[in-house]
Amino acid sequence: MSLPCSRLLAANGVVFLGQIIDKIDRQDAAIKSIELETHRSSTMNFRGNHILSVKQFDRDSVEQVFQVADDMEPYAHRLRMTKVLDGAILGNMFFEPSTRTRVSFGCAFNLLGGDVRETTDVKSSSITKGESLYDTARVISGYSDVIVMRHPQPGSVAEFAKASRVPVVNGGDGSNEHPSQALLDLYTIKKELHSNSRSIDGMRIAMVGDLKHGRTVHSLSQLLLLYRNIHFTLISPTELRMPESIVSNLQAAGHEVTETEEMEQGLQDNDTVYLTRIQEERFDSKLEADIYRGRFRLNQAIYTRHCQPNTVIMHPLPRDSRADANELDNDLNQHPSLAIFRQTDNGVLVRMALFALILDVADIVEDTASEVSWYTESRFEE
Ligand code: NCD
C-alpha cells in the first residue's frame, strides 16, 4: 500500500498515517469477508429476496431487470399510472447522505402506487441510543413490505438483511457496493451504446477518480464481469486504485485491464468514460482528500482533444462542482454525449423494476393502470 508519505507526514504526523493504514486494512478485511459470503447464482429468484450485491446476478437476471425497466417507461414518464402496489409500504432507511438514490427509490415505489416511510437522520433514530442493526431490522421489517437501506459500514446492509422479515435492497454500504446504481449505469450504457450501434460485449470503458472507495465503480465493474471482452482503463492516483481483488477478477474473466495515472492518455479510444467523485467521507480528514481533489477533470476542451467523438460521459452524481474539484465541467452540460441526467432518469425505471420483481407484480402492473389526469408536458428524452 503506497501512500504519499512525505505529504501526509508533513501535514499530519506519524500517528495519523498509522490510522490511515489501519482503516484501510479494516475496510479491505470487511470487503473480503463480504466477498466470501456472496455467490453468483446461475438463475436468480427475485420474489421475496434481498438485493445485496451485484454478485447475485447472472446475465439473464440483468436482462430480466432491463426488460421490466423498459415496461415501466410509460409510468415513470407520467403517461400512465398504476396502483399495483396500493397499500404496500417501503421503509427507506438512509444512514448516510443521499439525494438521488433515496428520492428515486421513493419515487419508484410511489409510481407503482405504494407508500414510502423514510428514516434519514441518524441523530433522530434509535441507532444513537445504542440499538443494534438486528433490532432495527426486526422492528422496521414489521412496518414495511420492503426496505432500502444505506449505511456507512461495509457489510452492514447484509447484516441488517439477515434479521429482516422482508426483502432488503442495498442502497450503498460504505465503500463496498451499490448494486442498484450499477444496474442503472449498465442499463444506461446499453441504451447509449445501442444508439451508437455498439454493444456492452467488446466495449471500452474508462473509470476515473477514486476507484478505491467508490462503491459505484466496484459494483459496475463486477457486473461487467458477466459480459465479454471488455477493455477497462482504470485512471486513478496509485493510492486510490481499484481494489486488487476486483482487478484480478476482471482479468481472470478474460477482460483487459490497463491501470494508469495519466488521464489524457487513458481517455483515448473509449466508448464510455465514467467519472467519480473523491469520496471525501471515506478519508480520515478533508486534508487527506484534498491531496487528490481536482487531479482529474473533464471539460469540453479535454474531451475534444482526447476522447473519440460520441464517447458517452457518465457520472453517478453528485459531481463535485466546487472550483478546486470541478471533476466534470458545466461546459459539457449541453453535450449530446453527456448521459448523467439520462442515468438519473433511468434510475427510476430500474428501481421500479426491482420493486416489481421482488414483490412479484411485474406481470400485473397494467391491470390497475389508467391515464394520468394532470398536466404532464413531456420532460423525458426519447
Ligand atoms: C454515489 C454514492 O453514494 O455512492 N452516489 C449515488 O448514489 N448516486 C456516488 C458518490 O456519492 O460519489
* 48 within some domain: no
Bridge partners of residue 298, in order along the sequence? 328
Q: Is the pLDDT of residue 6 over 50?
A: no
Q: Give residue-wise pLDDT tens across range 123-144.
A: 777 777 789 999 999 999 999 9
Assess whether 337 and 246 both reside in one domain. Answer: yes
Chain CA centroid to CA 116, Å:
21
Assess whether 100 and 164 both reside in one domain. Answer: yes
Assess whether 359 and 308 both reside in one domain. Answer: no
Active site residue 117: no
Specify the ligand 1 atom closest to the Cα of 276: 12
**C-alpha 309 to ligand 1 mean position (Å):** 27
Q: Is the pLDDT of residue 22 over 70?
A: no
Active site residue 178: yes
For residue 79, the number of C-alpha atoms closer than 13 Å in the C-beta half-sphere is 9
Residue of 40, 100, 190, 191 marked active site: 100
- State the pLDDT at residue 27: 53
Q: Give residue-wise pLDDT tens across range 263-284.
A: 999 999 999 999 999 999 999 9
Assess whether 134 and 218 both reside in one domain. Answer: no
Residue of 50, 55, 102, 178 marked active site: 178
* 191 within some domain: yes
Residues in the chain: 382
Assess whether 161 and 211 both reside in one domain. Answer: no
**C-alpha 231 to ligand 1 mean position (Å):** 24
Assess whether 334 and 214 both reside in one domain. Answer: yes
Assess whether 154 and 213 both reside in one domain. Answer: no
Q: Is the pLDDT of residue 117 over 60?
A: yes
* 380 within some domain: no
The answer to whether the pTM exceeds 0.95 is no
- State the pLDDT at residue 382: 66
CATH number of the domain bearing residue 275: 3.40.50.1370
Active site residue 128: no
Give me the number of domains the chain comprises.
Answer: 2
**Mean per-residue pLDDT, 316-320:** 97
**Mean per-residue pLDDT, 319-340:** 97
Name the band, by pLDDT with cuts 50, 70 and 90, for residue 381: confident
* 293 within some domain: yes
Helix (H, G, I), strand (E, B) or coil at 149: strand
* 20 within some domain: no
Q: Is the pLDDT of residue 17 over 50?
A: no
**Mean per-residue pLDDT, 1-16:** 32
* 12 within some domain: no
* 9 within some domain: no
* 136 within some domain: yes
Assess whether 336 and 249 both reside in one domain. Answer: yes
- State the pLDDT at residue 242: 98
- Grid cell 473533464 is found at 298
- State the pLDDT at residue 82: 98
Query: Can you say whether the dihedral through the CA atoms of 164, 168, 172, 175 is positive or negative?
Result: positive
Q: Which ranges constitute the DSSP H helices of the chain?
A: 5-12, 14-37, 59-71, 73-76, 100-111, 133-143, 156-163, 179-195, 215-224, 244-252, 263-266, 286-290, 300-306, 340-358
**C-alpha 270 to ligand 1 mean position (Å):** 23
Assess whether 159 and 237 both reside in one domain. Answer: no
Assess whether 114 and 184 both reside in one domain. Answer: no
Name the band, by pLDDT with cuts 50, 70 and 90, for residue 147: very high
Assess whether 361 and 235 both reside in one domain. Answer: no
Name the band, by pLDDT with cuts 50, 70 and 90, for residue 11: very low
Active site residue 40: no
Supply the range of the domain harboring residue 204: 179-342
Q: Is the pLDDT of residue 57 over 80?
A: yes
Assess whether 122 and 213 both reside in one domain. Answer: no
Specify the ligand 1 atom closest to the Cα of 97: 3
**C-alpha 78 to ligand 1 mean position (Å):** 26
Q: Whose CA is nearest to atom 7 of ligand 1?
A: 101
Active site residue 101: yes
Name the band, by pLDDT with cuts 50, 70 and 90, for residue 196: confident
Specify the ligand 1 atom closest to the Cα of 171: 7
- Name all residues whose Cβ lies below 6 A of ligand 1: 100-101, 172, 178, 181, 215-216, 277, 279, 316-317
**C-alpha 360 to ligand 1 mean position (Å):** 28
Residue of 50, 55, 82, 101 marked active site: 101
Q: Whose CA is nearest to atom 1 of ligand 1?
A: 316
